[in-house]
Structure 1
Amino acid sequence: MKTLLLTIDAWRASHASFMPDPAGDHTPNLARLAEDGVVFTEGVSHGPATPYAFPSVFTSTLPLDHGGYEHLSEDRTLVSEALDRAGWRSVGVHANPWLGEKYGYARGYTDYRDVGEFGLPGLERGRQFLLNNFSLDHPVYRAAQYVYRYAQKPLRTVTGDAAEIEIAREALEDADDDTFVWTHLLEPHAPYTPPKRHREAVGVPEIEDSPAQLVTRAQHEPESFTERERRVVRGLYAASVRHADEKAGKLLRSVDDDTLVIVTADHGEALFEHGQVGHEPNLHDELVHVPFLVRPPAGAETSIGTVDTQVRHIDIAPTILDYAGVDAPTSYRGRSLRPAIEGDDLDDELVISEVASTPTEPGRLAPDALQVAVRTPERKLIYTNDGIEGFDRRDDPGERDPIADPTGEDWDALRAALDDRLAAIEIADSDGVERDEDVQKRLQDLGYLE
């Protein structure tokens, strides 16, 4: 059996065609995959942005466990490490600077690629040669970097696909059994610049500014936008989701029936909800409710359809290991979803989502910025330094009407879980992992940094 984990950046649950009441038919390729699998309608991320979400995806621990998310502690076992110890081969490919090897994400992989820079197929070895022999600010590296950026667009036109898709397809096609492939798509992450064909399919109105300029302004001044401008931004985002689905479709054509496929988003995206565009740290559902789809391998027992039980990103790694026949590490907090996939009932579990960073210093631990949410499908508590707010998600699914002092037996279990989590969190002082100039530039391009 092979396993493919496909994660899609900043993808709202509302913009997955296979989810209930979707905003449109923006993911037809993934919807076809869902016809042979199980859709979990209440999938929840443990963090509102990439650096806060991925520790849970890969290590089945909460973001602020084991010293936090600035670097993955050796106390956390990545699913790739557990598979490696069992004799599996793992290939990982991404273009998100938060997921670099320096943050601990490459452990256990046979082949781990950051294709965000010098990312076209065949150029990775050249990039590594330059990095091994020249510093990032050396004239030789600078010259090569300039030439690459100048040639990048026409070269991508020739190759047709993003490098992460090409590398993942090749890995799947060449793989024997006992191979794990993870790929992460940056689309539909801001600045929402999809090809014209997708903008036309969605019917995005014409604008004077470039899409990138408009979206950047929306991230910084959302309150200044007219209703027409808001429609444009939402349309650009939907078109970007279509672009991600198109790429996913090309990847899925390389997936055989004997492959376990798991598809989810690292987090969602705000489109003017709660006064923001993007995913600055908050824990409302537009950022933590995510699409979640599992297509089991051929021959495995499957109850095709939807499951409304609340599930979590910490359940991904245990599920992968269960199908692989590998014991989960004792550090894992999650559970395998295989029983639910095979038609058995699972109880809802409370979900903790958390972050301790500021919008101006994303990815850096800031104890004074701690936010913790406890969620069920019916209710949510959100703790910040300003206090605790509750939301009745049955009557207020958009979380627009906070309950200032939620008390009573309906809230007791959430209150107890919140108290326990707040007591357990220890945020150590940290200078953070040093970011080189290249990473800083890429984070700026994605809108994280000024």
Structure 2
Amino acid sequence: MHDPAAGGEPRVQWLHQPATWRAEVLGLALACAIPVTCVDAYLLDRKLGIISGGYLAEFQFSGLRLALFLAISLLTDIAVVAPILAVVLWLARLLWMHALARAFLAVSVALTVVAAADVAVYELQRYLGDLVNVNILVNLLGGDIREILHFSASPALHWLGFISFGGLAVVGLSVVLDNRFPSRMRQDPGARKTTFAALVLTLTAAVVVGAVGRLNDPGVDRALAYKPAGRVVGSFTEWLTDVDRDGYGLLSTPADTAPFNSAIHPYAVEIAGNGVDENGIGGDLPSGPPYRDTSYPTVSFVRHPDVVFVILETFRADALGAIVGGRSVTPTLDRLRHDGVEARRAFSHNGFTIQSRYHAFTGHLLGPGNPGSLIDDFNANGYQTAFFSAQDESFGENFDVGFGRAAVRYDARVDRDKRFTQFATPASLTVSWKVLEGRVNAFLDERDPDRPLFLHINIQDGHFPYTNPDIVPIVDDVRMQRDELLPERADDLKQMYLNTLANVDGALGRMLARVQRTTGRRPGVVVIADHGESLFDQGFLGHGYAANDAQTRIPFIVDGLPARVPAVAGQVDVRGVLRQAMTGPDAEPVVDSSDERAVFQYIGTLGRPKEIAVVEGDHRSRLTLLGQRSVALSPAETTLVHFWERVSGRLSAAP
């Protein structure tokens, strides 16, 4: 371009003033970091509700707390953007570019890099939430390269034109600025060394201040973990402080109690009876037999009634029997409860759909894998097995529920064009009760009615955003858009949710009537849910964040079968209850009040849960494992920890 000694009469004097490299780097870094921090705050609010609240908003910032988060975020952005600017400025000097052109080019490149990272992270999280990593993405999409490319690239394709046009514009404007505003950069002695020192000092400040903020505020920690620059600085902090290289550094939550011993860390597998507390909670695991799931060998049924097994998506137990505007929300389920039996208290073991369905179909806590399922039990006894699901069954297929072994299979992929969800990827694809009911009815009208039937129905409408175009007013006509789902409208939200459940209940009633009409026989029916839902209970909207009644208490109803239902039940009891009803003596269905078994619950994964809990009778013990752990445990909490350690130990030992 131009020789730095080139002269010329300046047109705008301040544009031609010489600048030091160090001042230019840090000044431009601050200018870039301010808009980056503002944009990230907006995106984080859209995703996590850190300012306005909303669905899955666990933390909310305001006042001084918000100001502190923004300050840490700004420092983090400066630490990440400054090295990018320094590299571009250095390369621009090799091209003899003048100061203003160099600055423009450096800022453009730095902002493009950060914007691309924001787009990639935010767009993927719109699909997957917290599951953004390559392994999950590949497993989620079944290794299909076409779907992977569509899934990962297509959300950002609409940005490609802007990026391409912007790149050309940057190059063009850089040339114009270089020609119209020649100026020099003053090269101080030792400029490179002092600039490097300034970059190191900035990164050090970001690491120290960020670590202090994240360690003292779990909300700040979660928000910075989503922010691209926060991930970069956080990863560097973790690597730098993970002395024993066990994967746990300074920012790990919970903290590593033995930073110099790689065998001891917060989720290490406990070795029973060795005198060492490997995971730092509950003391050493006492010697004892390892945990084993119930075995379900092949059995011969002594009776062969038609059986309909129903899983209702996001269905709170307290919706049963609810009345809105003088009308019953659940007349079908209320009839089944009246004619049959229900567990006095029933719970999901986990706050997420994939694990919950696995527990119910297999009777196992441990997973993933294929320990057999209800589909196999009924296949082995001459039933026509039919699996009708309103979701995409390829999502979470490593938690095998037997979908692929059912004689008749339907899921939302068949009616992809009729979905009510925005996206057609496995984690999102869902069809309404209306589409599902039509498919079930068509199957029932065509099948041989003389063969015994095992029919699974999975209805999805109760999930967020709690309504869709096929939901009609039954008990209420309120309809809210996603941006209206706010704490101050919690009452309207619950009315809309209950109206959706009334639609679900009505569809279920019609499908059960169709089964009886086409077979000429009254079917046995089992109804549960995958989990409940917090509708701003305790200030939270969603599920999978706490083992409380709102998010984990569910229906457990059995009608038309000689079943013995535990008074307190979990989803793993479904398989055993059904097998007993098909092989035991012919008797009236009953709730076994003497069988108040303990129901184990975990939030997250069994190997690394955020929280564990156990329900015994009317009491629940809960213990947080992710975050600040309790030092002194009660005997009940210690027993709970040791049970989880035996379960997770078996999980890690599985082939």
Shared fold (TM-score, shorter chain, > 0.5): yes
Is 1:423 aligned to 2:624, yes or no? Answer: no
Q: Which amino acid aligns with 1:283?
A: A
- The equivalent residue for 2:511 is 251
Is 1:80 aligned to 2:352, yes or no? Answer: no
State whether residues 328 and 475 of structure 2, in contact with CA within 8 Å, keep that contact through their aligned partners in structure 1.
no
Is 1:275 aligned to 2:275, yes or no? Answer: no
Cα 1:340–1:285 shift into 2, 3 Å: farther
State whether residues 52 and 355 of structure 1, in contact with CA within 8 Å, keep that contact through their aligned partners in structure 2.
no
Alpha-carbon distance in structure 2 between the residues aligned to 1:246 and 1:233: 20
- The equivalent residue for 2:618 is 378
Is 1:35 aligned to 2:331, yes or no? Answer: no
State whether residues 567 and 594 of structure 2, in contact with CA within 8 Å, keep that contact through their aligned partners in structure 1.
yes
CA displacement 1:104-159 (0-9 Å, x = unmatched): 332431122112552589x9xxxxxxxxxxxxxxxxxx9xx9xxxxxx99xx9xxx
Alpha-carbon distance in structure 2 between the residues aligned to 1:421 and 1:339: 36
- The equivalent residue for 1:163 is 435
- The equivalent residue for 2:348 is 45
CA displacement 1:221-248 (0-9 Å, x = unmatched): xxxx32xx12221121111111111211
State whether residues 313 and 463 of structure 2, in contact with CA within 8 Å, keep that contact through their aligned partners in structure 1.
yes
Cα 1:238–1:345 shift into 2, 3 Å: closer
**Larger Rg: 1 or 2?**
2
List aligned pairs for 1:406-445, cutoff 5 A: 407=634, 412=636, 415-426=638-649
Cα 1:424–1:94 shift into 2, 3 Å: same
Is 1:237 aligned to 2:501, yes or no? Answer: no
Is 1:311 aligned to 2:569, yes or no? Answer: yes
Instruction: Choose between structure 1 and 2: higher helix proportion.
Output: 2
State whether residues 3 and 320 of structure 1, in contact with CA within 8 Å, keep that contact through their aligned partners in structure 2.
no
Alpha-carbon distance in structure 1 between the residues aligned to 2:457 and 2:360: 13
List aligned pairs for 1:319-330, cutoff 5 A: 319-325=577-583
State whether residues 566 and 593 of structure 2, in contact with CA within 8 Å, keep that contact through their aligned partners in structure 1.
no
The structural deviation recorded for 1:279 is 1.0
- The equivalent residue for 1:111 is 408
- The equivalent residue for 2:466 is 192
TM-score (norm 2): 0.45
State whether residues 46 and 288 of structure 1, in contact with CA within 8 Å, keep that contact through their aligned partners in structure 2.
yes
DSSP 3-state at the match of 2:621: strand
DSSP 3-state at the match of 2:475: helix
Alpha-carbon distance in structure 2 between the residues aligned to 1:114 and 1:288: 25
State whether residues 18 and 39 of structure 1, in contact with CA within 8 Å, keep that contact through their aligned partners in structure 2.
no
Q: Which amino acid aligns with 1:17?
A: G
Alpha-carbon distance in structure 2 between the residues aligned to 1:201 and 1:195: 16
- The equivalent residue for 1:133 is none
Alpha-carbon distance in structure 1 between the residues aligned to 2:349 and 2:339: 27
- The equivalent residue for 1:15 is 319
Alpha-carbon distance in structure 2 between the residues aligned to 1:197 and 1:24: 17
Q: Which amino acid aligns with 1:214?
A: E
State whether residues 349 and 552 of structure 2, in contact with CA within 8 Å, keep that contact through their aligned partners in structure 1.
yes
- The equivalent residue for 1:212 is 482
CA displacement 1:269-318 (0-9 Å, x = unmatched): 11112331111332111111101111124xx5x89xxx881112111112
Alpha-carbon distance in structure 1 between the residues aligned to 2:467 and 2:375: 32
Q: Which amino acid aligns with 1:181?
A: L
Alpha-carbon distance in structure 1 between the residues aligned to 2:389 and 2:642: 36
Cα 1:423–1:213 shift into 2, 3 Å: same
Cα 1:33–1:266 shift into 2, 3 Å: same
State whether residues 388 and 405 of structure 1, in contact with CA within 8 Å, keep that contact through their aligned partners in structure 2.
no
Q: 2:454 aligns with which of 174, 180, 184?
A: 180
Alpha-carbon distance in structure 1 between the residues aligned to 2:555 and 2:624: 26
State whether residues 168 and 182 of structure 1, in contact with CA within 8 Å, keep that contact through their aligned partners in structure 2.
no
Q: 1:347 aligns with which of 581, 595, 601?
A: 595
Alpha-carbon distance in structure 1 between the residues aligned to 2:471 and 2:624: 42
- The equivalent residue for 1:4 is 308
Alpha-carbon distance in structure 1 between the residues aligned to 2:311 and 2:471: 24
Alpha-carbon distance in structure 2 between the residues aligned to 1:184 and 1:7: 5
Alpha-carbon distance in structure 1 between the residues aligned to 2:611 and 2:591: 35
The structural deviation recorded for 1:195 is 6.1
The structural deviation recorded for 1:37 is 1.0
Q: Which amino acid aligns with 1:424?
A: V
The structural deviation recorded for 1:43 is 1.2
Q: Which amino acid aligns with 1:252?
A: L
Q: Which is further off, 339-348 or 245-254?
A: 339-348
DSSP 3-state at the match of 1:371: strand
DSSP 3-state at the match of 2:415: coil
DSSP 3-state at the match of 2:611: strand
Is 1:296 aligned to 2:560, yes or no? Answer: yes
State whether residues 315 and 337 of structure 1, in contact with CA within 8 Å, keep that contact through their aligned partners in structure 2.
no
Alpha-carbon distance in structure 2 between the residues aligned to 1:101 and 1:368: 18
The structural deviation recorded for 1:319 is 2.1
State the percentage of identical aligned residues.
Answer: 18
Q: 2:604 aligns with which of 353, 356, 359?
A: 356
Alpha-carbon distance in structure 1 between the residues aligned to 2:377 and 2:337: 27
Cα 1:24–1:57 shift into 2, 3 Å: farther
The structural deviation recorded for 1:355 is 3.2
Cα 1:87–1:251 shift into 2, 3 Å: same
* Unaligned stretches of 5+ residues in structure 1: 124-141, 146-151, 219-224, 326-335, 358-364, 390-403, 430-450
The structural deviation recorded for 1:321 is 2.2
DSSP 3-state at the match of 1:201: coil
DSSP 3-state at the match of 1:290: coil
* Unaligned stretches of 5+ residues in structure 2: 1-304, 425-429
Cα 1:343–1:349 shift into 2, 3 Å: closer
- The equivalent residue for 1:392 is none
TM-score (norm 1): 0.63
The structural deviation recorded for 1:194 is 5.1
DSSP 3-state at the match of 1:241: helix
Cα 1:119–1:247 shift into 2, 3 Å: farther
Alpha-carbon distance in structure 1 between the residues aligned to 2:307 and 2:465: 31
Cα 1:419–1:281 shift into 2, 3 Å: same
Cα 1:198–1:346 shift into 2, 3 Å: farther
Alpha-carbon distance in structure 2 between the residues aligned to 1:86 and 1:101: 27
